Chain A
Amino acid sequence: MSVIAPDFKFSKFIQSLISDVVWFVLIFSLIGFPIIMMVLFFIPMPVIDGELLTPFLAFTYLADPTRTLPIVQSFMMTDMFKIMAFPGFGFAALLAAATIFVERKMLAKLQLRVGPFYCGKFEGILQLMGDGLKLISKEIIIPAKADKPIFWAAPVLFVASAAAFVALIPVAPGWVVADVDMGLLAVFAVIGFFPIVTILSAWSANSKFPFIGGIRALFQMVSFEIPLILSLLGVVMVTGTLNLSEIAASQSSFPWILFLPVGAIVFFITMLAELERIPFDLPEAESEIVAGWLTELSGMMYGLVQLGTYLKLYAFAALFVVLFLGGWNGPQIVPQFPMEIVTEGLELGPVTAKIGGLEPLLTELITPEMINGVLMFVLKTVGVIFFILLPRGVFPRIRVDMLLNLGWHKLIGLAFVNIFIALALVYAGVLGPGGLQ
């Protein structure tokens, strides 16, 4: 066994864990438990439903669904749950992780190879976990002449901006972290943060390749933000609102992509550029400037930026779905719940199985409409993500002058064409008040 890198043994690791747990239990039972009991002795216990609440009774409440399910329901309606789990970070991170897996496998199939294969028994499904563990365990190296506070802060800021973007996306009716009236303006504001974070990270590294990459990212993001904003004006004109939930709800009978295909195309191309995907991955052009503005990032700092990138990819795809593909609207394919089983209970011979407290949860919060909406939204988002990933296997990288030419000359013109189409549709009375909707 060498001194520098001692052999890692899984059994030793488990042993050390078990010894920790044993010590914890021993100390708790010898010192902690008597202290709790002595404290309880002096506290007057409340009376609930005509019964004195003893510690034993309190423990039995945990296994009673009529008492725990309302707690779960009220927890699911809190902002914390929304931010951390369902429409917010956890849901988005899960989709982003799935995106990475699908990207790697799909690209591999396109290139006649296998892709991740060994990690996790089935088709390398745990490869991402392995990569994440590797990144966490790596040393973080900061360049000696870097501006350290800003260099440290930039990856965190990047993830924070991406998460703020995710928070604005409505997933199902009422399921959105921040239901802002000026939702689309807030989206533009959040998108405006990314070039700032990028240039901060690139400049503070005090290295040449990140600097060039950062300047390229700045060029790219700033010049594509204008067609991005202009391409979405058409949707705002025909709906008359900036609230993303209302925009999604307005497409109950048809999605806007049928009437505004030019805007959708322009938005899709600008989206690719904002996401730095191939063919617009100039800020990370490997053969020219190493890894661009990510060159000096190491370990989990790089991992954070990757997480932010994929969160951003999910958020942009979701924004495309909300604005052009009708968000959660779609045919109802989820069947109604068998409510008589929930209310009456399921008769299994002499026994009647019934879970009390489930009825309000299923009628108020997790309705079939909500599940169907989420399903539709996820299906559409996955479709859009597929089309975002596809160019990576087909196109080479373009050059910075071609990119700027595309952004300033062609896409802005097309975005104006889209605005005129929207104006014509509204004034002709096809859409808007008095029209189809």
Chain B
Amino acid sequence: MTNEFLPPGLALQKADERIMTLNVGPQHPGSGHMRIIVQIDGDYIVACDPDPGYVHRGEEKMAEYRNYITNIPHLERPVIHDSCNVLYPYVLGVEDLLGIEVPERAKYVRVICSELNRCIYTMYWLAIYGIFLGHSTMFMWPAGDRELLIDLMEKISGARVTHAHFVPGGVRNDLPPNFEEVCLRQVNYFEKRIREYAAVFYDNPILISRTQDTGVLSREDAIRLGVTGSVLRASGVDYDLRKKEPYDVYEELDVHSNVMKEGDSYARSKIPWLDMLESCNIIKQALEKMPKSGSVRVKLKPNPKGKGLNSVYKRVESGRGSLGCHIVSDGKVEPYRLKLSVGSFRNLIALPYLLKGEKLGNMPSVYWSLNYWPVEADR
């Protein structure tokens, strides 16, 4: 097929005899559900064009045809491993629209669920980062240790993934009996396990020499490109929504945001790991401060409606950075418009800048260090 039949972004032009165009994806072990069009000169990448959109599911449009409660199960689909965090801004926004006051215990349960989910997602991300660098042990260990926290989430919500546990007005169910003890034990063991990863992965001299000083994103560029989350904090910008715009009970907890100055692949891969340790810390604090009894859910009327023409924008710190949800209500039972603003897509914008001039061998480590989740970016 010649270029004229293709849309301009997808045209594979042959610029030079030396330049070879590689289609990394969508059927490639190192791409995920997307395509990266890479032009290489020998071993160097001269141009890179990320091409997402292979798993677009129209979540935002679907939300316009369902009421505020039935929107919950499908809105968590973009990142099933991080489903509590994906639902978090939506639930906060709907509560704002409907004017609901959430019980104190429910807020703590939400924080615990959200931090557990952040760890579950990050472990999955870390497993794939390991296998992208050819480190098969680092694939198996996180994939196995995730089970600890998945079991906890299963105890809370009944489902191993896609919990649909957050509802406007609180959480769906109260914590099971004896949960605090089990949770503390599992989280302590989990923390001990992930500290061991440093010995095999983060302190590994080959890994350090491979990822340090590759794909460097300076502080100014990070702010200019609008990246979020771990990518932003790896470039030396201390911006964690749990600290900057605390939602629910995060202001009562002692949250430490991890910042590194280097802005290279190594820093970007280490920040999520440090975040997991911080998450364990937050879970322990929340378990301590949580009211031991009380309601976890405000009963809503069937088919709740927003009050007149109204809009609300809420955002939370998800596993991949800032995750915002803009809900426009026109007083009907379903939202007039719902817009998810996800961290994955913002981080992907940095990819062409980071990969230009890099070696082909650095492509997987730089690409996956951006904490990018293809399904979330396509929504």
Query: Interface of A with B (CB < 8 Å)?
Result: 107, 110-113, 208-209, 212, 278-279, 281-282, 285-290, 392-402
Whether A395 contacts B28 in the complex (CB less than 8 A), given A111-B140, A112-B140, A287-B364, comes out as no
The reply to whether the CB of B209 lies closer than 8 angstroms to some CB of chain A is yes
Give the 5 A-B residue pairs with the shortest CB-CB distance, closest first: A397-B134, A287-B30, A111-B140, A287-B364, A396-B135
**B141 & A112 in contact (Cβ 8 Å cutoff):** yes
Question: Chain B residue with minimal CB distance to A219?
Answer: B43
**B206 & A395 in contact (Cβ 8 Å cutoff):** yes
The reply to whether the CB of B58 lies closer than 8 angstroms to some CB of chain A is no
Contact of B360 among A278, A279, A288 (CB under 8 A): A288
What are 16 sample pairs from A and B whose C-beta atoms fall under 8 A apart? Answer: A111-B136, A111-B139, A111-B144, A112-B141, A281-B134, A285-B134, A285-B361, A286-B29, A287-B132, A288-B363, A288-B364, A290-B30, A393-B137, A394-B204, A396-B201, A397-B134
Question: Chain A residue with minimal CB distance to B29?
Answer: A286
**B29 & A287 in contact (Cβ 8 Å cutoff):** yes
Contact of B133 among A111, A290, A397 (CB under 8 A): A397
Residues of A within 8 A of B20 (CB): 208
Question: Chain A residue with minimal CB distance to B40?
Answer: A212
From residue A282, how far is it (CB to closest CB) to chain B in Å?
Answer: 7
Question: Chain A residue with minimal CB distance to B21?
Answer: A208
**A112 & B144 in contact (Cβ 8 Å cutoff):** yes
Question: Chain A residue with minimal CB distance to B131?
Answer: A287
The 8 A CB mask of B341-379 against A (1 = contact, 0 = none) is 000000000000000000111111000000000000000
Residues of A within 8 A of B134 (CB): 278-279, 281, 285-287, 396-397
Question: Chain A residue with minimal CB distance to B27?
Answer: A290
| Most B CB within 10 A of own CB, among A278, A287, A394 | A287
Distance in angstroms between the alpha carbons of A197 and B274 in the assembled complex: 46
Residues of B within 8 A of A397 (CB): 133-135, 210, 361
Residues of B within 8 A of A112 (CB): 140-141, 144
The reply to whether the CB of B223 lies closer than 8 angstroms to some CB of chain A is no
The reply to whether the CB of B277 lies closer than 8 angstroms to some CB of chain A is no
From residue A276, how far is it (CB to closest CB) to chain B in Å?
Answer: 12
**A402 & B210 in contact (Cβ 8 Å cutoff):** yes
The 8 A CB mask of B199-235 against A (1 = contact, 0 = none) is 0110010110110000000000000000000000000
Residues of A within 8 A of B207 (CB): 396
Whether A394 contacts B200 in the complex (CB less than 8 A), given A111-B140, A286-B30, A290-B28, comes out as yes
Distance in angstroms between the alpha carbons of A285 and B43 in the assembled complex: 14
Distance in angstroms between the alpha carbons of A62 and B336 in the assembled complex: 92
Question: Chain B residue with minimal CB distance to A291?
Answer: B29
Distance in angstroms between the alpha carbons of A212 and B361 in the assembled complex: 11
Residues of A within 8 A of B363 (CB): 288
Contacts A111-B137, A112-B140, A289-B360 known; 16 new A-B pairs at CB < 8 A: A111-B144, A112-B141, A113-B140, A278-B134, A278-B136, A285-B134, A287-B29, A394-B200, A396-B206, A397-B134, A397-B135, A398-B209, A399-B359, A399-B362, A400-B359, A400-B361
